[in-house]
Amino acid sequence: MKTNASPNGAVAERQLRPARLPGLHLIGDFYGCRCDYRHMIDREAIEALCLRLVKEAGLTPVGSLFHGFGGDGGVTGMVVLAESHLSLHTWPEECYVTVDVYVCNYTCDNRAKARKLFDALAAAFKPADPHVVSVDRA
């Protein structure tokens, strides 16, 4: 147990770890992507794709920011979710994409939605050699 002072000065005991908080962190390295080339270099196309897939997965976007590096350069971007986040980075010269999907929620288990989003991103980028790490968090 750990003690913390509340805003009114009272001291309360709180567990070091939160109560059950179902979370899932999916981390992907997509090598040899065979997707539509726009999805490697076009900031607007990638942002639209990510926002569409987030909504189709049943998750809630609250903001997004994507940056294109110009010409045939890659794109880096993030969709902030009410449930946590999606981040994505492309390297078109290497046909390589990194994807990070993390969800957590006190009131419901969004792990299936995270998997649905991650699988849809993999289907869109069509990696020949996907490397995926799945971390249960809580």
**Is 104 a catalytic site residue?**
yes
131 pLDDT more than 60: yes
In a domain, 13, yes or no: no
Q: Which domain holds residue 99?
A: 22-137
Q: What is the DSSP string of 84-137?
A: EEEEEEEEGGGTEEEEEEEEE-SSS--HHHHHHHHHHHHHHH-EEEEEEEEEEE
Question: Of residues 89, 95, 108, 131, which has the active-site annotation?
Answer: 89
In a domain, 7, yes or no: no
Determine the Cα–Cα distance for residues 87 and 60; give it in Å rounded to an integer: 14
Q: What is the pTM of this model?
A: 0.86
Question: Of residues 84, 85, 95, 134, which has the active-site annotation?
Answer: 84
SS3 state of residue 40? helix
In a domain, 49, yes or no: yes
In a domain, 2, yes or no: no
In a domain, 78, yes or no: yes
CATH value at residue 72: 3.60.90.10
**Is 84 a catalytic site residue?**
yes
Model pLDDT for residues 65-88, shown as the tens digit of each residue: 999 999 999 999 999 999 999 999
In a domain, 57, yes or no: yes
Q: How many domains does the chain have?
A: 1
6 pLDDT more than 60: no
In a domain, 8, yes or no: no
Which tokens in the block code for residue 89?
């980075």
Note the pLDDT of residue 8.
58
